Structures are given as C-alpha cells and as structure tokens.
Structure 1
Amino acid sequence: MKIFKMLKTALLKWYDRDPFREGAIIAYYAIFSLPGLMVLVITLAGYFFGADAVSGQLNSQISDAVGEDSAKMIQTVVKSSMESKDSLWATLLGIGTIILGATAVFAQFQKSINNIWEVETSTDKSGIWLFVKSRLFSFGLIVTIAFLLLVSLLISSLLTAFSDWMERYISHSLMVIFVVIDFALSLGITTVLFAMMFKILPDAKIKWKSVWIGALITAILFEIGKFALGLYFGNADPASGYGAAGSIILILLWTSYSSMIVFYGAEFTKVYSDEHFGEAPPSEHAVKFKVDKRILERSHN
C-alpha cells in the first residue's frame, strides 16, 4: 500500500538527517526551557482552572513519563520561580528570562523542522524582526498548549464526575468505556497540538489538510513511546549510575527520544504533503536549500 511506502520513505529520510543529534539538541534546550515553560502554562491555564489543579496535572504527566523524583525536582524549581519576592525590576527581568527560555525550545524545533521541509530563513531578509516574530510564534504555541491543557483538565474532570455517578447504575466492567473515551480525547488533543506545530513552525506554505494524517500518526507513536519509555525507565533505571544528577538524565533521555518521534512525524508529514499536494513553497521570508544527495538516493531505493 502507498501508506507503507510513505512510512518507509519517511523512515529513511528521518534516519539520514541524524535524528539522534537533533534529539540531543532539543533535549539540551528543553532542560533549560522546561521550568519557564511550566511557569507560563500554569500561569495562563491556572487563571481559568486554578494554578494548583494545573500544576497537579502537569506533575502527574511528568511523573508518569520520567518518575516521581524528576517530577519533584521540576516542581521545586517551578515553585521557587513562582514564589519569588524580588523587586519590581528583578521580577520583570525574571519574567523576560522565563519567556525567552520557554520559547527557546520551540525556536530550536522550528530550525529542525525547517531542515525537514528543506527551507531556511533568507539571509537577505533576516534580522531582529524575524527573531521577535519567531519568539512570538513560539509564545503563541505555549498559549495554545495552556488552552489545550485547560480543555483536557475540564473534560477529564467532567468524565471523572460522570463516571463516578454512572458507577452506581452500571457494572464495573463497563466503566472501561470511560477510560477509552478519556484516552481518545487525549489522543485528539495531542493530534491537534502536533498539527499546529507542523503547520505553523515551518517556514513553508503548508496546507492544513496535509498535516492531519502526520499529526495523528505522531500522536499515536508519541503515546506508544511514552508508555514504552515509562516501562524502560521503571525497569532498567538508566539514570541509576548518575547519583544526584539522575533526575536530569531521565529528563534529557525522555526529551531526546520524544523529539525523535516528533521529527519522524514531521518527516512523514513532508512525504505525505509532497505525494498528495506537491512540494510546499517557502514562505515570503525563507528560501529553499539543497538537500544532501544521500537522503534523496536512499529514499528512492
């Protein structure tokens, strides 16, 4: 089938672009961006749902991914940042640093995904405005994450309340239906997030209808990868030899592996888009660049 051929082509291109290096770069940026990113998400989503509820949901997700110790370490850093009682200027400087740090990982994601779409910012049109624009896009994605988290929290709360009420009227075995619904909604929200990343981040004119299949595949792989990494970290304990730095090592490993999954999804989206809608042209402030012949030769074998 054509879909399997596209999956294979995407895999070959993904491998030839050195995903391990790209994943390591994202992990490096993420370790510095994560506290700031969480502060922004908690602040934005917490305005509607309560900071404690949002913080608890995020800590639960992080704990499931990399363990309780790493989650507690991040929680301590975030709590320290949010409870700071410095002067006004120090607070403003801190807010600016948090925003800059939180958007850095998305800016690096944009560079990596631009490489997949074979576009780069034109040197004739680059400058401070493009830097600001890039960070505004990244901040916009953070706001979107906060909104999607808010929706996820609201839906999960409603499902929990409804399932508790229904448990009095239906058998316990049928309660699995609510678990399936919760998972499907979570998968749908993750798909929307990846679709927005694949559509907005690249400096290319990509059609919305070309990103949804890739976003869904990425979301499915991401959920599978999250489960597999949880088992691996729980049983193999790869950070046991690093002592106090073990929590940081787990975060680096999880971010690196997860980034590679996202890059494969972006690669498949590019292959799917080229196959069904033709090559996407670069945006007004970007240009195409020449691809390594190695990638082209292997992807056609």
Structure 2
Amino acid sequence: MHFKLFYRLARQSIAAWIDDYAPSMGAAISYYTVFSIAPLLIIVIAVAGLVWGRDAVQGEIVAQLTGLIGQDGATGVQALIESANKPAAGVIATLISVGVLLVGATTVFAELQSALDRIWDVPPSQKASGIWATLRARLLSLGFILGLGFLLMVSLVFSAGVAAFGGWADGLFPGWELLLQVVNTAISLGISSLLFAMIFKLMPQARVSWRDVWVGAAVTAVLFEVGKALIGLYIGKSSVTSSFAAAGSLVVLLVWVYYSAQIFLLGAEFTWVFAHEHGSLRGEAGTRMAPAAAAAPATAAGSVLAPAVEVPRRSEKADKTVPMLATSAAAPSPARRRTARPTLKQRAIVYGAASGALLLLSFLLKKRLTRQSLAPPPY
C-alpha cells in the first residue's frame, strides 16, 4: 500500500470517525465494559482453564493486565473477578447468578454491535428486532466470548512453545532474545487480527466482505499494539491512580478501555472507508439518490417535484439525515421492511453458541455447587 494511498485512507477514516461521534460511542462502550469485564473474564478463564487450569489462566491474564494498566488496575480487575466468582447459596440463587453472569458478559458486545451498525450506516428498518433477534444477538455475543477463550488457549500454547524454544536456544546464537520478541509480537498481531476480523465481519447487521475485513483487521491490530504501548506509558508516567485515591484502579481501567475503544472504532472506520474506496463496495461511496428520487407523475394539478437532491459522501456530510424531495403533498412514511431471514451460516453460529452456552452453563453450575458443598459452615 503506497504512502499517499494510506494517507488518503487515514484522512478519510479520521473524518468518518469524527462524523460518527466516535468519542461518545467509546464512552458508552467503556461504561458497559466496566460492568461486563468481570463476567467476561470469568467465562474466558473457565473456557481456557479446561486445558491449562483456572489458576494458570487467571495468573496469565493478571500478568498481561499488569503490563497494560499497571499493578493497581490489575489488582482491581482481579478483585472484581474474585467478587463475581463467589459461590451463591442455593440452587435458585446459583442459576440466577449464572444468568446474570451471561447477560453481563454479553452486554458490551451488544454495544459494540450498535456502534458498528452506526459506522456501516445500517438503517433502522433493516435492524432485527423482537425477542428472537435479541436472543440471537446475545447468543452470537456468547459465541464471541467462547471464541475469545479459544484464542486465549491458542495464545498460551504459542507462548509456551516460544518459551520452550527460548530455553533450548539460549546461548546458541547471538540476538535470539530479539528474535523471540519479534515472534511474540507476530503471534500477538495474528491473534488480534483474527479477533478483530471476526468482530468486523459477524457483528454488524450489514453485508461485509472478508476481503475488506482482513485489511481493516490487520490495520486495527497494528494500531492496537502501538496504542497499547502508548496508553501503558501514559498510565505509568501520569498520576491517575494517586489523583483519585480509592477509585484510582477503576479510573485507570476506564481510561485504558476508553482509548482502546477509540482505536477499535478508528479501525472499524478504516474498514468502512477501504471497503468503499478499494474493496467490495467500491463505487457505492459516491453520491446517492434519495429514496424518493424516482420520477413519479404528478397526482394533482399544480404539483411540481423539486430537483433530485444528492446525498454527499460520508466524509463531507455533517450528519446522517437524508434530505427528501419536496412535494406539494406530504409523502407517506415508508412501511417498515421485514428483516432478512438468517442465513445458514448465521444459524450455525447461533446454534453453536447455544450449545456452547448450555455446556458452559452446566459447567459453571456444577462448579459453583461443588464450591458450595466444600465451603466450611458459617459459625
């Protein structure tokens, strides 16, 4: 990708990021993430812990969080995990707590879907609604969480392999430490790109091509790695924790999630721009005719249609409103269109997520009941 081309795409992405009010969307994502991070990590630890053990996975996550948001922030997240993972008293209370756990873990993904729908200009008439649509969206979010746990397992496998190779190659040739660091960075970029590609492809209620997704996911992964280092440097050098006293760990978590959300949204905007400039939607980013632009005969004497109004490109418009044609009589509001039936791929994802949810529910329920039976009686 030439520098001039990348510069033009970056400039258009930033303009679209501003037009879509990404800072406000990032604030909403950060708010929901605070309440979703504990149940989300509990499910991820439960999935990855099936292979590596719960304590090992939780220790690895805390170590990664320590490098990202500092010791205070990681300690706060660990306290949230332990508090949310306490066994409840009774079967009914356990079922309720597991249900709240699943709903809380999927809430942030629902907000991510809303943000991506706004970026891809999904009209309200095409958005799925109703109980089944809500349930399907929650199951899809749970499928992403299970996939996140699987990616964590893969990451731990590669990390263990790299560590074993480092122990074997110690002293064999000079510069092997740099080689291991490059390999670790490449693995991290690959896993992040895969995760972002899944979110960009499956989350929005719009047709998104895999060809467009991979380019945007790779750019987002690189931005995320660079931003992760810069955010960690800012948190480490600033006095955010000490300025807010007891709430310092929560503020650090909010700051890190907020700036990470901005990087994610900027990557999603880059994907949108690339798809319309050089991807599968090329040619659709120019001027469009308004829905009522089709010529129609006058229904009454003296009724004159105004000239068709062109909708400007996204980077040039100030809002999302589409001007309609002026007529002598008020145009009737268009009927709500029925949403398209789910495809076979979407059904397979939903059914797979539902099966995984049932297995995870039974596993968590059994685990909580076992803890309750082994807990010492209160005095």
TM over 0.5: yes
Amino acid at match of 1:106: F
> Do the aligned partners of residues 75 and 120 (structure 1) sit closer, same or farther apart at CA in structure 2, a change above 3 Å counting?
farther
Number of aligned residue pairs: 289
Amino acid at match of 1:4: Y
1:237 to 236, 239, 248: 239
Equivalent position of 1:15 in the other structure: 18
1:155-191 per-position Cα deviation (integer Å, ceiling 9, x unaligned): 10111011111104333x3221111111101111001
1:139 to 133, 138, 142: 142
1:254 to 253, 256, 259: 256
| Structure with the bigger percentage of helix | 1
Deviation at 1:269, TM superposition (A): 0.3
Say yes or no: does 1:297 pair with 2:299. Answer: no
1:98-149 per-position Cα deviation (integer Å, ceiling 9, x unaligned): 1100100010000001000000453795101111111111111101110000
Say yes or no: does 1:68 pair with 2:71. Answer: yes
Equivalent position of 1:177 in the other structure: 179
2:223 to 211, 221, 224: 221
Say yes or no: does 1:25 pair with 2:28. Answer: yes
**1-side partners of 2:313 and 2:176: how far apart?**
53
1:20-99 correspondence to structure 2 within 5 Å = 20-99=23-102
Deviation at 1:20, TM superposition (A): 1.4
Say yes or no: does 1:118 pair with 2:121. Answer: yes
What is the TM-score normalised by the length of structure 2? Answer: 0.72
Equivalent position of 1:164 in the other structure: 167
Equivalent position of 2:374 in the other structure: none
Alignment RMSD (CA, Å) = 2.1
**1-side partners of 2:207 and 2:283: how far apart?**
6
1:180-229 per-position Cα deviation (integer Å, ceiling 9, x unaligned): 11110111100110011100110011111111111111101101111001
1:264 to 266, 271, 292: 266
Equivalent position of 1:285 in the other structure: none
Task: Say whether the 8 Å CA contact 2:44–2:145 is kept in structure 1.
Answer: yes
**1-side partners of 2:56 and 2:103: how far apart?**
25
User: Which shows bigger deviation, 91-100 or 122-131?
Assistant: 122-131
Deviation at 1:89, TM superposition (A): 1.2
Equivalent position of 1:107 in the other structure: 110
Amino acid at match of 1:261: I
**2-side partners of 1:124 and 1:100: how far apart?**
21
2:195 to 193, 196, 221: 193
**2-side partners of 1:249 and 1:125: how far apart?**
35
**1-side partners of 2:252 and 2:282: how far apart?**
38
Equivalent position of 2:214 in the other structure: 212
Deviation at 1:4, TM superposition (A): 2.0
**1-side partners of 2:49 and 2:218: how far apart?**
28
> Do the aligned partners of residues 297 and 123 (structure 1) sit closer, same or farther apart at CA in structure 2, a change above 3 Å counting?
closer
Q: Tell me which structure has the larger Cα radius of gyration.
A: 2
Deviation at 1:81, TM superposition (A): 2.7
SS in 2 for 1:45: helix
Deviation at 1:73, TM superposition (A): 1.7
SS in 1 for 2:240: coil
Say yes or no: does 1:2 pair with 2:21. Answer: no
**1-side partners of 2:262 and 2:128: how far apart?**
30
> Do the aligned partners of residues 57 and 216 (structure 1) sit closer, same or farther apart at CA in structure 2, a change above 3 Å counting?
same
**1-side partners of 2:267 and 2:117: how far apart?**
13
Task: Say whether the 8 Å CA contact 1:12–1:298 is kept in structure 2.
Answer: no
Q: Give me the identity figure in percent.
A: 37
**2-side partners of 1:163 and 1:52: how far apart?**
24
Structure 2: give runs of 5+ residues left out of the alignment.
285-290, 292-310, 319-379
Task: Say whether the 8 Å CA contact 2:169–2:176 is kept in structure 1.
Answer: no
Deviation at 1:77, TM superposition (A): 2.1
1:240-294 per-position Cα deviation (integer Å, ceiling 9, x unaligned): 221101111111111111001100100010111112211799xxxxxx9xxx969
**1-side partners of 2:203 and 2:147: how far apart?**
13
Task: Say whether the 8 Å CA contact 2:15–2:315 is kept in structure 1.
Answer: no
Amino acid at match of 2:249: S
Say yes or no: does 1:152 pair with 2:171. Answer: no
**2-side partners of 1:76 and 1:124: how far apart?**
38
